Amino acid sequence: MPERTPIRAAIITQDEPFAVPVLLEELLPVKGDRIAAVFIAPPTSRRESFSELVARWRSVFDPWTFVRYGLRYLRAKLLGPRPAGVARRLGVPVEDVADVNAPEFLDRLRELEIELVISVSCPQIFRRRLLELPRLGCINVHSAPLPRYRGMLPTFWVLYHGEAETAVTVHFMVEELDDGPIIMQEAVPIPAGESQASLMRRCKVVGARLLAQTIDLFEMGEVRTRPNPREQATYFSFPTPAEARAFRERGGRWL
């Protein structure tokens, strides 16, 4: 057996009540002793208010789905589990971070002697100083078969395009979105009738397992990567109302 050297990692995520808690519930019981802190970044960018975020989602949901999603969101926000609550219950410290690229936050990572930063649905873009700070780098877990389906809502887009399977990918982060070398990737079959919400949750369970295995690889000095070629990449952003309508007309379901 290779000699294992424990590492100190940090997770940067957001207060998202549906998928992030699923990943934390799976990852922290087995690797919580390696996570020095879970940092919660704001769920909206500086360019988008919460009301604008709600309006964006309203534009892609039919009225009934919007009501159901809103009720689920409120219930999760009020009753949990929320990411911070999951982390604290499992013994991992939680801190808020307004700007992940701010000098004071980088100083906080240095103070905690963080060697690896893990992005889990972080809503902010990592800039070079953050990417270069931890000794082992920054990694991201993305619910898509990179290099395909880079960008937003990959679980929606694989369903939109009628894929028979998707994948979960753990990769190194660089300044380009979803563009770093691939560390691990596992296929995820898509059964008939799968909803976007259920596929997202299943991918988070797989993502937790892959992150745990990735931490093991770092500790044993056995991380190997393969390319994430840009020439094979496809990129998708937030769906338009017309694309969301086409998704529903094909029998696609959000919930």
pLDDT tens for each residue of 128-163: 999 999 999 999 999 999 999 999 999 999 999 999
**Residue 61 within a domain:** yes
Q: What is the mean pLDDT of residues 190-215?
A: 97
Q: Find out whether 45 and 124 touch, Cβ atoms under 8 Å.
A: yes
**Residue 2 within a domain:** no
Number of domains observed in the structure of the chain: 1
Taking the C-alpha atoms of residue 208 and residue 36, their distance in angstroms, rounded to an integer, is 17
Q: Is the pLDDT of residue 34 over 60?
A: yes
Per-residue pLDDT, 149: 97
> Which structural domain, as residue segments, surrounds residue 226?
9-249
**Cα-flanking dihedrals φ and ψ of residue 95, to 5°?**
-135, 150
Q: Is the pLDDT of residue 44 over 60?
A: no
Q: Is the pLDDT of residue 46 over 70?
A: no
Range scoring the smallest mean pLDDT among 24-28, 43-47, 57-61: 43-47
Per-residue pLDDT, 109: 98
Number of residues written out for the chain: 255
Higher pLDDT, 91 or 46: 91
**Tokens standing for 222?**
């056995």
Give the H/E segment covering residue 171: strand 165-172
Residue type, 234: T
Q: What is the CATH number of the domain that holds 181?
A: 3.40.50.170
**Residue 18 within a domain:** yes
**Residue 254 within a domain:** no
**Residue 60 within a domain:** yes
Per-residue pLDDT, 2: 63
Q: What is the mean pLDDT of residues 220-248?
A: 96
**Residue 4 within a domain:** no
Q: Is the pLDDT of residue 1 over 70?
A: no
Q: Find out whether 35 and 61 touch, Cβ atoms under 8 Å.
A: no
Q: Find out whether 154 and 143 touch, Cβ atoms under 8 Å.
A: yes
Q: Residue 235 burial (CB < 10 Å; 0-12/13-18/19+)?
A: middle
**Residue 199 within a domain:** yes
Q: Find out whether 95 and 40 touch, Cβ atoms under 8 Å.
A: yes
**Residue 255 within a domain:** no
For residue 115, give the 3-state DSSP assignment.
Answer: coil
